[in-house]
């Protein structure tokens, strides 16, 4: 909304000029009407989803205006993005084939065009998907430790406990088997959380800026908790999702939420809550003692107990 308002305010077109084409004046009026309608819809919960569509209509009117002023033909009108109409009008037509199907020409947004060109997974299509195509989609990671790795680590822990018992430290073998795995996992997990918070805090101090996120939909997190999903549009036009816990799931979401946006290299980005400058340092300070204490316990058991057993 802010960017489009600035674009209108700084636009060089003057509808009162004698040489202004009449149809260009109509385009200018359409752009202003779209901005006014989007401003009203922005503050109404039931109409907030219309804001992107209204802004797109205003942008289309400005594109038509500039084409008429330059004496050029009007640009081609494409339908909404094939994969998700919430992406807005398509910008290009590409050839694409579903799993096991023939290639066809589809209209997609700029972000999905980049995904298809780079071979990256695109967002799920809003169109009905066949069972064959659904089966071919890659499984969603559940965030757990892969089974082969878990079995391998368990085997190493059992082997270490057996070696410790053979060295004469049977109580140490039992403690190492029971405690070392948990303390090591705690050290690794808390270390990852602290490192992630530190990286986000550093990016926030260097390149982070406040922006507005628009409510997109209500959803359920991978852990089964209700959440509201907000969307931030970055400078490249790509939409970044920012999920927020919805509590019991019965409360109505706020239409617009202030967030911190962290641009990253390669066109990616990340949206954080408005409280990030406060809770990121607290997360680091609270996690460091857990990392240090669990690491000390793990090192005492592995390989500390073995070294003590061999030296005694």
Q: What is the pLDDT of residues 61-119, one digit of tens each?
A: 887 888 888 888 876 766 667 877 666 667 778 888 776 677 878 888 777 887 888 77
Q: Please, which pLDDT band fits residue 284 given cuts at 50, 70 and 90?
A: very high
Written as six digits, the tokens of 283 are 């997360």
Q: 143: left (phi > 0), else alpha (psi -120 to 50), else beta?
A: left
CA distance 189 to 129: 37
Is pLDDT above 90 for 281? yes
Question: What is the SS3 assignment for 203-229?
Answer: HHHHHCEEEEEEEEEEEECCCCCEEEE
Q: What are phi and psi of 103, to 5 degrees?
A: -70, 145
Percentage of the chain beyond pLDDT 70 is 78
pTM score: 0.49
CA distance 31 to 4: 10
- What is the b/e burial string over 235-261, where b = at least 16 CB atoms within 10 angstroms of the residue's CB? eeebbbebebebeeeeeebebbbebbb
In this structure, are residues 58 and 38 in contact, taking their beta carbons and an 8 Å threshold?
yes
Residues 249-262: pLDDT tens digits? 455 677 777 888 77
Q: Among 273, 241, 269, which residue's Cα sits nearest to residue 257?
A: 273
Q: Please, which pLDDT band fits residue 246 given cuts at 50, 70 and 90?
A: confident
pLDDT averaged over the chain?
78
Q: 22 versus 263: which is more confidently predicted? A: 22
């Amino acid at each position: 909304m802010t960017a489009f308002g600035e674009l209108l305010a700084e636009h060089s077109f003057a509808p009162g000029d004698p040489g202004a084409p009449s149809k260009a004046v109509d385009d200018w009026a359409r752009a202003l009407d779209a901005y006014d309608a989007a401003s009203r819809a922005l503050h109404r919960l039931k109409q907030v989803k219309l804001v992107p569509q209204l802004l797109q209509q205003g942008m289309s009117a400005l594109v038509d205006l500039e084409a008429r002023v330059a004496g050029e033909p009007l640009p081609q009108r494409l339908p909404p993005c094939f994969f998700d109409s919430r992406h807005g009008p398509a910008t290009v037509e590409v050839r694409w084939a579903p799993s096991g199907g023939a290639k066809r020409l589809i209209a997609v947004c700029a972000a999905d065009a980049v995904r298809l060109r780079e071979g990256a997974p695109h967002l799920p299509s809003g169109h009905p998907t066949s069972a064959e195509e659904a089966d071919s989609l890659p499984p969603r990671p559940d965030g757990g430790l892969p089974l082969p790795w878990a079995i391998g680590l368990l085997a190493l822990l059992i082997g270490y406990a057996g070696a410790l018992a053979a060295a004469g430290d049977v109580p140490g073998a039992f403690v190492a088997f029971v405690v070392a795995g948990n303390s090591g996992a705690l050290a690794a997990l808390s270390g990852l959380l602290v490192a992630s918070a530190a990286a986000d805090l550093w990016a926030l101090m260097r390149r982070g800026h406040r922006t507005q996120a628009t409510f997109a939909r209500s959803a359920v997190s991978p852990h089964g908790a209700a959440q509201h999903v907000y969307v931030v549009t970055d400078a490249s036009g790509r939409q970044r999702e920012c999920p927020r816990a919805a509590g019991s799931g019965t409360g109505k979401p706020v239409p617009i939420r202030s967030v911190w946006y962290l641009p990253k290299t390669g066109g990616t980005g990340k949206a954080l809550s408005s409280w990030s400058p406060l809770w990121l340092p607290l997360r680091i300070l609270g996690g460091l003692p857990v990392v240090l204490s669990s690491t000390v316990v793990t090192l005492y058991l592995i390989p500390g107990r073995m070294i003590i057993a061999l030296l005694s």
